[in-house]
Amino acid sequence: MKKITFYIIFCLLFLSSFRAPQEFQHVVFTVEVAINGRSSIKNGPQDTCMINDTIMRINYKAGTNYIIREGFIYLNSTIQCPDTIYGWEPCTNPDNVSFNVPLCGGVTINDNNPQGIAEYDDVIGDWDCRGWFTQDLNAAYEGTFDISTQTFNFTNIPGIGGSGSITTDGAVLQGFSEIKRSVVGGTGALRYVFGEVRQRAIGVNTTGSMNFRTEFDLYILL
């Protein structure tokens, strides 16, 4: 009987050590990222050409793996997308069918900063990414063309404050389609976090890389 009583007390103490669901804070916020395409490192075949003096077009091939070392994180609705249209010209692939996408801000390239810098002052963090292409970029007009792991390093977390990072994993869809990605984990003020994100491209910048908008739907342990 004593053993049973001890076992029951042990189980109760063990269960009480877990935090109740109401101790999680539900946080939703949205950010935009401008990818600096000139900070990427690739391992695999790709074609490169200049569309004009500033815009560089890269045709990543299926199987190419990569690291993008720099993206600039802004609050939602920071990146400006004027009426200018960026045409995805055939470049080195004559069979490519061109289509148009918005040419947006986010990254500035000039004689003093040929590798690209943030266009706007209110940067709230930096972003990096590593992954693989599953289709040739010039031929990928629908479905998944990229599987990647993305890390958002915040200096000031929207709606929470403080610094910390959060990592997501999942696919990227061609055609600027929205997709959900899993939250893998975090550090700093986001070290006890789970949830998901919704991500959608919002055009390209002068480095020829995507800008995208990400909505975080998170539960954070207090």
Domains, the chain, with CATH or none: 21-221 (2.40.480)
pLDDT attached to residue 1: 55
- 174-209 pLDDT tens trace: 766 789 999 999 999 999 999 999 999 888 888 878
Helices and strands, number each (H, E), in the chain: 1, 15
Give the whole-angstrom CA distance, residue 66 versus residue 220: 31
CB distance 137 to 172 below 8 Å: no
Dihedral of the CA atoms 189, 194, 199, 204 (nearest 10)? 30
Residue 58 has pLDDT above 80, yes or no: no
Residue 91 has pLDDT above 90, yes or no: no
CB distance 40 to 68 below 8 Å: yes
CB distance 135 to 145 below 8 Å: yes
21: CB partners within 8 A, 6+ apart: none
Give the whole-angstrom CA distance, residue 32 versus residue 145: 21
Give the whole-angstrom CA distance, residue 68 versus residue 39: 6
Would you place residue 141 in the very low, low, confident or very high pLDDT band (cuts 50, 70, 90)?
low
- Looking up tokens 């009426």, which residue turns up? 83
Residue 132 has pLDDT above 50, yes or no: yes
136: CB partners within 8 A, 6+ apart: 59, 60, 61, 62, 93
- Looking up tokens 């077009």, which residue turns up? 57
